[in-house]
Amino acid sequence: MSDEASAIPVGTQFTPQLVDLSNFLRSLLRNSGDKTQMQAAIWQQPTNLRKQPRLPTSERQRNLPLEAAIQYGLLDAEYRATELCESLAAKSGQQLYDQFARHILLTLGGLRVVEGIQQMQADGHKVTADSLAAYLTDQGFRIAVHNTAINSMRLWLARAGLFPESRARAWEIDQDRKSYLVGLEDDTIATLAGLTPDQRAFVAALCRVDPQGAYPASEIRDLAESIIGHRLNRGNLPKNFLEPLRLAGLIQYQARGTSSGKTSTLTTTDMFRKEILADFLENTLKTLDTALTAYYVKPIAEIYSELCSDNPNVKGAALEAYAIHVMRLLGLRFVAWRKRAREETGQAEIDVVMSGLVGGIATRWQIQCKNKPSGRVSLEDVAKEVGLTPLTKATHVMVLANCRVTQSARDYAREIMRNSSLTIMLLDRDNFDMIRVSPASIASIILAKSRLVESIDRHGFSWHS
């Protein structure tokens, strides 16, 4: 583990088993700015829940709960109580734990941790604090193994009902509580995570206005331009901005023809909660793994159906879900999106980087999925992927398309493999259809492609005399 900071708070000596949260918050407020008095207060009953609490002789030990309070956003660096601390101190009972859990989920990386648990469980991996820390760290969300951070966070979330209090079922997630605490369903989270920066600015503007009743969409767009600092696409406001938010369940809209000279109007739904959305856009999206749980649980029949949708936004989300489906079939782990299914590709192409052990050997895959039934995979398409490998550090390149692969593309891939250590696999419409009929057939397809690669006489130093 590197010296990089943990992506979540380190909550040493700060758990609901050791600290009464309500009294802890009041102690912070009463002694705001006075670290010595604060230490004395939090190591006494009723704040400290030990039977016979004693102030530790070590300064470091005395200060551990306060260090946790800083990391959880309850104190600033000068040991002054924050606005969050004041807000929470005004709550009591379950309302207090729910609000604290919502803060953890939306602003402290808690939702990313929960998503990681759901992904591991969907793939049949055993979840422990250490295995979860390693899983998330492998994806760039750094958490130290053999550390209290994840367990402390889990215990606070359990107090809000997200996890059971029982150790035997410690990692079982209550989906209803998750949706309640986050304020968003998994499908909505997936849609928001897939928005472009311009679309996110549009949502941020909508949060600022928080319209009651029908509101001109063009005015929201104008405010979004001031937020993001450039002019937004004015070609098709409903398609580019309103439809994605309708699919997320956040708005309904009425489109107006441009010839009428009237702007489209939008109306927010009951799912639109500006406080939660603003927090989500500002803080949560930065921590989320965009291979989201919604893609994990989406039925494959639904994915294939939506790949044929006339709605480009639906089609684009389905293509990303398909990439996650392929990842799971191959037994790989998500690393990062290189290119998502957005407007520049007509929602018809995505690039994703994945990693995993294949035959006990560490591999890194750069996979492109194409949804262009009437198109083709050309030499230029393959060359572009090969050119990116110094950046992605891929050992394998795969192009999986529901269209034909040209002979020149195959010849180029073969020539690259003859002169480098890179492995390139081109899967065409026939392979796509085979995987659709029998997902397990991907193993035999990869084996056949591997045998072709093995048959190539690669240039290089020969150890044979």
CB 182 within 8 A of CB 173: no
Our measurement of the distance from residue 160's CA atom to the centroid of its chain's CA atoms, rounded to an integer in Å, reads 22
Q: Tell me, what's the pLDDT at 106?
A: 94
pLDDT in tens, 159-178: 999 999 888 899 999 999 99
pLDDT in tens, 413-460: 999 999 999 999 999 999 999 999 999 999 999 999 999 999 998 876
* 243, amino acid identity: E
Report the chain's C-alpha Rg in angstroms. Answer: 26
Structure tokens at 422: 């890179």
- Quick check: pTM over 0.85? no
Per-residue pLDDT averaged across 221-237, rounded?
A: 91
Share of the chain above pLDDT 70, in %: 93
CB 256 within 8 A of CB 263: yes
Helix (H) or strand (E) holding 389: helix 379-392
Q: Which residue has the higher pLDDT, 131 or 165?
A: 131
Q: Tell me, what's the pLDDT at 315?
A: 87
Cα dihedral 169→170→171→173 (10° resolution): 80
Alpha helices in 293-363 (DSSP H): 293-297, 300-306, 312-330
Q: Tell me, what's the pLDDT at 444?
A: 94
CB 102 within 8 A of CB 51: no
Helix (H) or strand (E) holding 177: helix 175-182
Q: Tell me, what's the pLDDT at 214?
A: 95
Per-residue pLDDT averaged across 185-192, rounded?
A: 84
Q: Tell me, what's the pLDDT at 313?
A: 80
CB 416 within 8 A of CB 386: yes
- Residue in this structure with the two tokens 């968003």, named with its chain if needed: 184
Q: Tell me, what's the pLDDT at 4?
A: 64
> Rounded to 5 degrees, what are φ and ψ at 349?
-155, 135
CA 271/CA 294 separation, integer angstroms = 17
Per-residue pLDDT averaged across 183-212, rounded?
A: 90
Is residue 298 scored above 90 in pLDDT? no
CB 313 within 8 A of CB 247: yes
Strand partners, 390: none
The mean predicted confidence, pLDDT, of the chain is 90
Look at 287-296, 349-358, 394-403 and tell me which has the smallest mean pLDDT.
Answer: 287-296
pLDDT band for position 255 (cuts 50, 70, 90)? confident
Is residue 360 scored above 90 in pLDDT? no
Per-residue pLDDT averaged across 47-73, rounded?
A: 93
Judged by DSSP in three states, 360 sits in coil
Q: Tell me, what's the pLDDT at 347?
A: 58
- Residue in this structure with the two tokens 């040991």, named with its chain if needed: 79
Terminal-to-terminal C-alpha distance of the chain: 44
Q: Tell me, what's the pLDDT at 297?
A: 77
Q: Tell me, what's the pLDDT at 465?
A: 40
Q: Tell me, what's the pLDDT at 1?
A: 39
Q: Tell me, what's the pLDDT at 350?
A: 81
Q: Tell me, what's the pLDDT at 346?
A: 52
pLDDT band for position 361 (cuts 50, 70, 90)? confident
* 75, amino acid identity: L
CB 43 within 8 A of CB 79: no
CA 400/CA 369 separation, integer angstroms = 5
Per-residue pLDDT averaged across 308-337, rounded?
A: 87
Could you tell me what percentage of the chain is helix, strand and coil, using 3-state DSSP and rounding each to the nearest 5? 50, 10, 35
pLDDT in tens, 77-98: 999 999 999 999 999 999 999 9
Which sign, positive or negative, has the C-alpha torsion 436, 438, 440, 444?
negative
Structure tokens at 360: 């006990």
Structure tokens at 449: 């492609």
Is residue 129 scored above 90 in pLDDT? yes
**306: which residues sit within 8 A by CB, 6+ positions away?**
314, 315, 317, 318, 321
Q: How many CB atoms lie within 10 A of CB 75?
A: 23
